[in-house]
Amino acid sequence: MTTLPEEAVEAFRSRLDGRLVTPDDLDYDTVRAVWNGGIDHRPALIAQCASTDDVVGALAFARDEHLEISVRGGGHSTSGNSVCPGGLVIDLSPMNAVEVDPDTRTARCGGGAVLAELDAATQAYGLAVPAGTVSHTGVGGLTLGGGFGWLTRMHGLTADNLLSADVVLADGRCVRASQDAYPDLFWALTGGGGNFGVVTAFTFRLHPVGPEVPLAIFFWDMGDGEEALRLVRDTVPGLPEATGVLVGIGLTAPPQPFVPPEHRGKLGHALLVAGFGSAEEHAEAIAPLANGVPRLFETRTTVPYTGLQSILDDWAPRGILAYETALTLRDLNDDVIGLLGEYLPRKSSPMTFCPTFHLGGAFTSVPEDATAFGGVREPTYVLDIWAVSPDPEWLVADTAWARALWTELLPHAATTGGYVNFMAESEEDRVRASYGPEKYARLAGVKATYDPRNVFHRNANILPAPTDQRA
């Protein structure tokens, strides 16, 4: 454990509006814990920042004491990068306020907020930000990596709906980045991750959504899995933009009320289709699915939008052991479907599966270079190979299984990189491949401008451009 001068620590503590947590505090282990229960990092200090001044002070203290820093919003990354061993954690969780302006359809959200807090505040006015699918995900990490979920086909990425960001830079300056001010920094924040500063507040564009949403769930037995995935392939890309789609590949049917008791625990594929138009439009959209491959069961219901946003929470409980990796696929071709059918029965944990998102519609209308998002702006599937388990031995087995499946699927991927928010391991070559050479070079130039010493490196790291390559 890092040894720090007591006087310096106490002086830092006295300047904070928030709280400084040390290994001597009784709740240290609770505070340092992140979503992934397999992460056991022990920071020297955790600054629970209550204000922008706290963030500025924390960066200054870390600089003076030569401490590595990490930035924690929701603490939801599989990698656990938000908690640095032996360093200083800048914990934004107290900065979680959400202010909604229904007249301008905008929301200002603190850097420590989670999706449940953002959704609750915006749904009070029948509005929403396109966001993720697990309610305790941090808004900050999700947005900075891109962010997609139920509303992406209709309204684009979370980052596509970002209007401005309040940022504390590595040198302590506080700026508000938008398309009109610090446009290079703003562009980098729309997908370039946490490489460029500490975002203490986000301002988003909102859209009318809910409060109730029609939802259809189809579940096919693994024995009919190849036919079911072909039906998904042939049907999903043609669904209206006003639908959200999640394919649960290799899902073990959960012990939920909507699953008939005799089918709970069975392995198969699920398709969830949410509608954001009328109930009649939703029924018409899903009709080809209902008339296709025989289902083990299906459910049609109406759920609150906030309920839809938390529908995967049971597969991602806090403290679960987790590993993930992902690929972007242009199509679920027969070779991909065959590999999935071969691999999914081999998983060890009932919780392990491949949540797969279809990105189309509004997502594809944004020009490739308009944001820093590390993915092609074409109709694609993002296949997340998600190994999760309460059992360490199962996780070891499923981590090896996930890596092997990723390797087998790689020849069919649109890029050799992947979605940076789904990387448990973000090696330099994978990060470069995720962004592609031109976008990576542009990000590296922005990095050199705002964080030339790479202070913010515990992420899918963009290296600062060398001096002779800077614009």
| CATH number of domain containing 75 | 3.30.43.10
- Residue 1 has a pLDDT of 55
| Rounded Cα distance, 120 and 103, in Å | 17
Residues 148 and 71 in one domain: no
Residue 384 belongs to some domain of the structure: yes
* Distance in angstroms (rounded) separating the CA atoms of residues 383 and 394: 21
CB 142 within 8 A of CB 151: no
Domain that holds residue 80: 6-91
Please choose, from the candidates 151, 164, 149, 99, the residue with its C-alpha nearest in 3D space to the C-alpha of residue 125.
Answer: 99
Of 208, 224, 252, the domain-final residue: 208
Please indicate, yes or no, whether residues 50 and 106 belong to a single structural domain of this protein: no
Same domain, 231 and 337: yes
Within a domain: 107: yes
**Are both 416 and 293 inside the same structural domain?**
yes
Adjacent-strand bridge partners of 382: 328, 357
Are 177 and 42 within one domain?
no
Question: Can you give the pLDDT at residue 39?
Answer: 94
Instruction: Give how far Cα 348 sits from Cα of 28, 256, 299, 324, Å.
Output: 33, 21, 27, 15
Q: pLDDT for 75-90, tens place per residue?
A: 998 999 999 999 999 9
Which two structure tokens, joined as six digits, stand for 50?
């209550």
**Residue 174 is assigned to a structural domain of this protein:** yes
| Rounded CA Rg of the chain | 22
* The domain boundary residue, chosen from 158, 178, 208: 208
Question: What Cα–Cα distance (Å) separates residue 255 from each residue in 38, 347, 388?
Answer: 25, 19, 17
159 and 72 in a common domain: no
CA distances from 106 to 121, 127, 187, 319 (A): 11, 9, 19, 33
**Quick one: pLDDT at residue 278?**
86
* Alpha-carbon span 434 to 430, nearest angstrom: 6
Report the SS3 class of residue 120: helix
Euclidean distance between CA atoms 251 and 294, whole angstroms: 17
429 in a structural domain: no
Q: Is residue 432 part of a domain?
A: no
Decide if 451 is inside a domain. Answer: no
CATH (domain of 309): 3.40.462.20
My answer on whether 25 and 146 are in the same domain is no
Q: What's the pLDDT at 175?
A: 98
Q: At 200, list the tokens.
A: 């203490």
Q: From CA 76, how far away is CA 68, in angstroms rounded? A: 20
* Residue with the two structure tokens 């070779």: 335
The pTM of the full predicted model, rounded to 2 decimals, is 0.94
**pLDDT value at residue 27:** 96
Neighbour tally for 426: CB within 10 Å = 19
User: For 442-462, how does the pLDDT look when each residue is reduced to its tens digit (9 = 90+)?
Assistant: 999 999 999 999 999 999 999
pLDDT of 470 reads 54
d(CA 422, CA 412): 18
Residue type at position 295: R
pLDDT tens-digit profile of 293-336?
899 999 999 999 999 999 999 888 999 999 999 999 999 999 99
Q: Looking at residue 361, what DSSP letter applies?
A: G
User: What residues of the chain score a pLDDT lower than 50?
Assistant: none
Domain check: are 335 and 251 in the same one? Answer: yes
Total count of domains within the chain: 3
Residue 276 within a domain: yes
Domain boundary among 189, 208, 227: 208
Q: Are residues 323 and 297 in the same domain?
A: yes
Report yes or no on 439 lying in a domain. Answer: no
Shared domain check, 253 and 392: yes
Residue 2: per-residue pLDDT: 65
Claim to verify: residue 107 and residue 195 sit in the same structural domain: yes
pLDDT for res 471: 55
The H or E element containing residue 189 is helix 183-189
Sheet holding 267-275, edge to edge: 297-304, 212-221, 267-275, 243-252, 354-359, 380-389, 321-329
Structure-block tokens of residue 342: 């071969």
DSSP assignment of 304-354: EHHHHHTTTGGGS-TT-EEEEEEEEES---HHHHHHHHHHGGG-S-TT-BE
260 and 143 in one domain? no
